[in-house]
């Protein structure tokens, strides 16, 4: 955990923010039991590289393997609860004039925690769509969890293609509306807090760069140095589930 002086310094910066943007990655959900992407995977999937599974080419090559991996992750997400890091961000929203969360996570935990302005840059693992986008992009399909296989990708009900999760895969574009809102708020925020991301996947990794170029103060929360740490004005080293509650307490003692 960072010392109290650094937490107080970050709290003073946040307390002056008019528009606070919080940009989150897999690290914020780790304490909810959801594995990150670039740290060691455990168990069944330890021998697979997530980047090898999260592409349209992988789905074409081995559809059921990709489907099973996402169903495994979806099960983890369904069992998971928001952790103190997510909940601290809900409290923080009431303490600043405007706060927007830009998340690379597909687990929906910010919304489940109660945050009200969340931009999901990489989609949501609980939604499904036709791989062929047969009725336009995206062709969303309601799927009853009780009625589908966890091992075999279900067929699209409208065409002869298959269903896939409504997440962004490598080589695919991010949803246009989410991406343009993200860059708009990054350009206009006065403070950006970057939490739990390795900061190497584009275009999300450019958001702090844009914010900093436009004069925002950058605060980073991460137990380890990341690709973005060089840019940070204040680096709060530690797990989000401990650092974020401490930061919010410093702003607004309970
Ligand atoms: P990564 O797995 O690349 O990075 C996770 C980051 O979280 C690392 O910097 C860890 O040090 C940090 N971390 C670990 N535990 C933490 C904790 N308790 N509190 C705070 N931070 C912690 O995940 P992302 O940067 O989110 O994209 O990955 C970005 C994208 O790459 C994902 O959205 C996904 C992936 O491939 C797509 O699938 C398109």
How far is the centre of ligand 1, averaged over its atoms, from the C-alpha of 197 (Å)? 4
> What per-residue confidence (pLDDT) applies to 48?
79
The CATH number linked to 130 is 3.30.1600.10
The arrangement of strands across the sheet holding 98-103 comes to 118-120, 98-103, 19-24, 191-195, 217-222, 234-237
Q: Within this chain, do residues 190 and 232 fall inside the same structural domain, yes or no? A: yes
Please report the pLDDT score of residue 156 as a whole number: 96
pLDDT at 42: 65
Residues 12 and 29 occupy one common structural domain: yes
Q: Within this chain, do residues 206 and 159 fall inside the same structural domain, yes or no? A: no
The residue whose CA is least distant from atom 33 of ligand 1 is 104
Helix extents (H) in 42-124: 50-53, 56-61, 63-79, 84-93, 109-113
| pLDDT attached to residue 187 | 98
- If asked whether residues 29 and 39 sit together in one domain, one would say no
Residues 234, 108, single domain; the answer is yes
Q: What pLDDT, on the 0 to 100 scale, is given for residue 44?
A: 61
Which pLDDT belongs to residue 230?
96
Q: Are residues 54 and 15 in the same domain?
A: no
Beta bridge partner(s), residue 23: 102, 194
Cα 220 to middle of ligand 1, angstroms: 13
Nearest CA to ligand 1 atom 8: 198
Buried b (16+ CB within 10 A) or exposed e, 25-52: bbbbbbbbebbbbeeeeeeeeeeeebee
* Mutational pocket test of ligand 1: of 196, 200, 220, the residue with most ligand atoms within 8 Å of the beta carbon: 196
Structurally, the chain folds into a number of domains equal to: 2
Owning domain of residue 241: 1-33+82-122+174-254
Mean pLDDT of each 10-residue bin along the chain, 254 residues long: 92 98 97 87 71 90 94 94 98 97 98 98 97 97 87 96 97 96 98 96 97 98 96 98 98 69
Q: What is the CATH number of the domain that holds 229?
A: 3.40.50.1220
Residue closest via CA to ligand 1's atom 16 equals: 27
Ligand 1 nearest-atom number relative to CA 240: 19
Of 26, 122, 204, 232, best ligand 1 pocket probe by most atoms within 8 Å of the beta carbon: 26
Q: How far is the CA of 196 from the centre of ligand 1 (A)?
A: 6
| Distance (Å, whole) CA 182 – CA 184 | 5
Domain identity same for 147 and 252: no
Residue that terminates a domain, selected from 111, 133, 167? 167
Which residues are annotated as catalytic? 122
Cβ–Cβ under 8 Å, residues 202 and 104: no
Cis upstream peptide for 196 (omega within 30°): no
Question: What residues line ligand 1, using a CB cutoff of 6 Å?
Answer: 25-28, 30-31, 36-39, 50, 54, 104, 122, 168, 170, 196-198, 201, 221-224, 226, 239-241
Counting beta carbons within 10 angstroms of the beta carbon of residue 88, is it exposed (0 to 12), middle (13 to 18) or buried (19 or more)? buried
Q: Which two tokens stand for residue 48?
A: 């697979």
Q: Do 149 and 217 have their domain in common?
A: no
| Residues 67, 50 share a domain | yes
């Amino acid at each position: 955990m960072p010392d109290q002086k650094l937490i107080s310094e970050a709290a003073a910066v946040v307390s002056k923010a008019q528009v606070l943007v919080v940009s989150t990655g897999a690290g914020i959900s780790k304490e909810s039991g959801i594995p990150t992407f670039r740290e060691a995977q455990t168990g069944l999937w330890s021998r697979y590289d997530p980047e090898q599974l999260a592409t349209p080419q992988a789905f074409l090559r081995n559809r059921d393997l990709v489907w099973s991996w996402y169903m495994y992750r979806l099960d983890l997400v369904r069992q998971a609860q928001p952790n103190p890091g997510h909940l601290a961000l809900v409290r923080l929203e009431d303490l600043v004039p405007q706060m927007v969360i830009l998340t690379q996570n597909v687990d929906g935990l910010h919304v489940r925690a109660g945050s009200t302005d969340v931009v999901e840059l990489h989609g949501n693992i609980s939604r499904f769509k036709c791989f062929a986008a047969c009725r336009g992009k995206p062709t969303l399909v309601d799927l009853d969890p009780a009625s589908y296989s966890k091992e075999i990708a279900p067929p699209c009900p409208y065409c002869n293609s298959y269903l896939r999760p409504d997440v962004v895969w490598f080589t695919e574009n991010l949803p246009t509306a989410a991406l343009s809102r993200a860059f708009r708020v990054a350009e206009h925020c006065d403070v950006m807090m970057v939490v739990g991301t390795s900061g190497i996947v584009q275009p999300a990794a450019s958001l702090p760069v844009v914010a900093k170029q436009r004069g925002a103060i950058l605060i980073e929360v991460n137990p380890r140095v990341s690709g973005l740490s060089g840019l940070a004005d204040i680096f709060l080293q530690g797990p989000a589930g401990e650092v974020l509650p401490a930061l919010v307490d410093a702003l607004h003692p309970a």
